[in-house]
């Protein structure tokens, strides 16, 4: 097979990510119950605040902490208690130091692909935070390059394509997010492999759109070996 280029997403494609945030949100929701707020309402306020904060401050655990704090301030008002601020700070720190949980079949599949193709890790977030996760994952050696961008939009795809002299027709973006991986890749003329994750962050959901490239849907990462 002809050598192709793969841009590969990291969070919830190579390793678990959103599940750790979801656990913390579940606990946060339970802590808001004594104030008289139900789960749906707390999540709606948090989503609203996160959507604004990610636009302004980017993605990552720092923004998550800020969003929990703002949500708590909004919900508790005068009733805010210092132990809740401490809980939010400690919980965010805990997520930051959680060791990566690599998804099943990922290392073998990366080893397989790296022998045949060019692999570039393409992730969004805060450079220090994502860089540390990549370092601890032990997967970095499979990649020719690592790109950490603030947002995965068509412009950031185009910059990465130019920097690495990628031929779009023979390149694929692989990831779990319709909003960040599939749609902007197809829009900029790349092909895309969509591997849904059962716990994808709500803010990553979007209708799949079509573009110039081809779209392949796989149920697990290791299935890449059947196609490439």
Least distance (Å) from Mg ion to the CB of residue 175? 5
Find, among 101, 116, 107, 124, the residue nearest to 176 by Cα.
124
Give whichever of 125 and 213 is closer to Mg ion, judged by the CB atom.
125
User: Which are the contacts of 78, defined by CB distance < 8 A and separation ≥ 6?
Assistant: none
Per-residue contact string for residues 10-49; x = within reach of Mg ion by CB under 5 A: -xxx------------------------------------
- The number of residues that bind Mg ion (CB under 5 A) is 6
Give whichever of 10 and 88 is closer to Mg ion, judged by the CB atom.
10
Residue among 9, 84, 147, 187 that touches Mg ion (CB under 5 A) = 9
Least distance (Å) from Mg ion to the CB of residue 164? 20
Distance between CA atoms of residues 163 and 178, nearest Å? 24
Residue 147 interacts with Mg ion (CB under 5 A)? no
Distance between CA atoms of residues 17 and 137, nearest Å? 12
Cβ(148)–Cβ(123) below 8 Å = yes
Q: Is 8 helix (H, G, I), strand (E, B) or coil?
A: strand
Per-residue contact string for residues 163-192; x = within reach of Mg ion by CB under 5 A: -------------xx---------------
Least distance (Å) from Mg ion to the CB of residue 115? 24
Least distance (Å) from Mg ion to the CB of residue 116? 23
Instruction: Count CB neighbours of 149 within 10 A.
Output: 20
197 to 17, 18, 48, 82, 103: CA distances (angstroms):
10, 10, 22, 36, 10
Distance between CA atoms of residues 2 and 119, nearest Å? 14
Give whichever of 88 and 139 is closer to Mg ion, judged by the CB atom.
139
Q: Interface with Mg ion by CB under 5 A: which residues? A: 9, 11-13, 176-177
């Amino acid at each position: 097979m002809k050598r192709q280029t793969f841009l590969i997403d990291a969070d919830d494609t190579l390793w678990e990510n959103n599940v750790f945030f979801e656990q913390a949100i579940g606990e946060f929701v339970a802590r808001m119950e004594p104030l008289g707020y139900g789960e749906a309402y707390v999540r709606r306020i948090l989503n609203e605040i996160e959507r604004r904060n990610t636009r302004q401050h980017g993605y990552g655990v720092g923004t998550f902490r800020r969003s929990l704090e703002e949500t708590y301030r909004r919900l508790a008002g005068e009733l805010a208690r210092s132990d809740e601020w401490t809980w939010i700070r400690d919980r965010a720190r805990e997520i930051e130091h959680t060791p990566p949980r690599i998804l099943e079949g990922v290392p073998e599949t990366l080893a397989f692909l790296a022998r045949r193709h060019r692999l570039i890790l393409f992730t969004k977030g805060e450079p220090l935070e994502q860089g540390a996760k990549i370092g601890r994952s032990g997967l970095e050696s499979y990649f020719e390059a690592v790109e950490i961008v603030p947002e995965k939009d068509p412009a950031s795809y185009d910059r990465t394509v130019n920097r690495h002299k990628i031929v779009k027709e023979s390149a694929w973006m692989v990831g779990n997010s319709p909003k960040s991986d599939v749609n902007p890749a197809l829009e900029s003329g790349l092909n895309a492999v969509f591997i849904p994750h059962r716990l994808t962050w709500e803010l990553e959901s979007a209708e799949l759109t079509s573009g110039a490239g081809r779209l392949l849907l796989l149920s697990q990462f290791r299935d890449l070996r059947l196609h490439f």
